[in-house]
Amino acid sequence: MEFIQKKEKPAAWFVSNCHEDQAQRLRYVERLKEVLPVDVYGACGTLHCTTLAKECDTMLTKYFFYLSFENSFCQDYVTEKFSRAFLKDVYVVPVVRGGLNYSHHFPQGIFINADDFSSPEELGIQGQLDMKKLMNDKDAYIDMLWRIAHFTIESYDVPYQYSWCQLCDKLHRLQDNAKTYPDFFEWYHSGKCRTPRAYMIEQSVACELLPFQTTIQTQSVVVTSRPPLTLPAIN
């Protein structure tokens, strides 16, 4: 796995919305950058990759981590950001931050959850197994990449077509699936979103109507051997 030796930078973040959102991502990353370098790509940063998504994904191989930060802390809300780390030949560890219960939907050991740390600084260099420690702990980092290699992302067509099959099945069994919501707007919004941790809050931010959610499906792959890997030390 020669790609390991190509890793030379801590973290990358792709972002195009430069307005402070409900999750206060910009403020969080600015604090993280004070203790650990983060390359910001897109309209909110100084770096850019080509418009070809594949080239942007391939570029991630030189980073140890990819920041998958959602713009809202809302129940079951996750976008395509998280799936980027599981694309073929990317080999990067995702750092997630959002309202989804990631541990409920995805196996442990394939991501770092920023919500497990009390602050951006702790996530970067002050935690029990923070990003800096993981970069320098070769065995721990390789083990995480090995776990990630067991999963891949289905093409868009597979879950999309399957969703229509599920809908058709439920429509044919309405007596088993019918449920009435007196106030759909209230059901959709009530208790679905939360504010970030107190250390990030300056003022209350209302949760707006969210876009459709993205579902990730995984499939197992067989790994028969584990060749020796080497990682450069990060000072």
State the 10-residue block means of pLDDT for the chain, 235 residues long: 78 87 88 95 83 74 93 86 82 92 90 93 86 90 90 65 84 84 79 68 37 35 36 43
Q: Are strands 93-97 and 112-113 parallel, antiparallel or unpaired?
A: parallel
Domain membership flag for residue 234: no
Q: Domain of 131?
A: 1-165
CATH at residue 64: 3.40.50.11660
Is residue 40 situated within a structural domain? yes
> What are the residues whose beta carbons fall under 8 Å from the beta carbon of 127, sequence distance 6 or more?
117, 133
pLDDT in tens, 71-109: 888 888 888 888 888 887 788 999 999 989 999 988 889
- Tell whether 10 is covered by a domain: yes
As a whole number of angstroms, the longest Cα–Cα distance in the chain is: 62
List of residues 6+ apart from 82 with CB closer than 8 A? 68, 94, 96, 111, 216
As a whole number of angstroms, the distance between CA 159 and CA 154 comes to 7
**DSSP assignments along 58-126, one per residue:** HHGGGEEEEEEE-S--BTT---TTGGGGGSTT---EEEEESSS-HHHHS-TTS-EEGGGSSSHHIIIII
Tell me if 71 is assigned to some domain. Answer: yes
CA–CA gap between residue 70 and residue 98 (Å, rounded): 5
Residue 232 in domain: no
Does 111 reside within a domain?
Answer: yes
- Tell me how many domains the chain contains: 1
Residue 222 in domain: no
State the CB neighbour count (10 A cutoff) for residue 136.
13
Please indicate, yes or no, if residue 197 is contained in any of the structural domains: no
| Cα 127 from Cα 52, distance rounded (Å) | 36
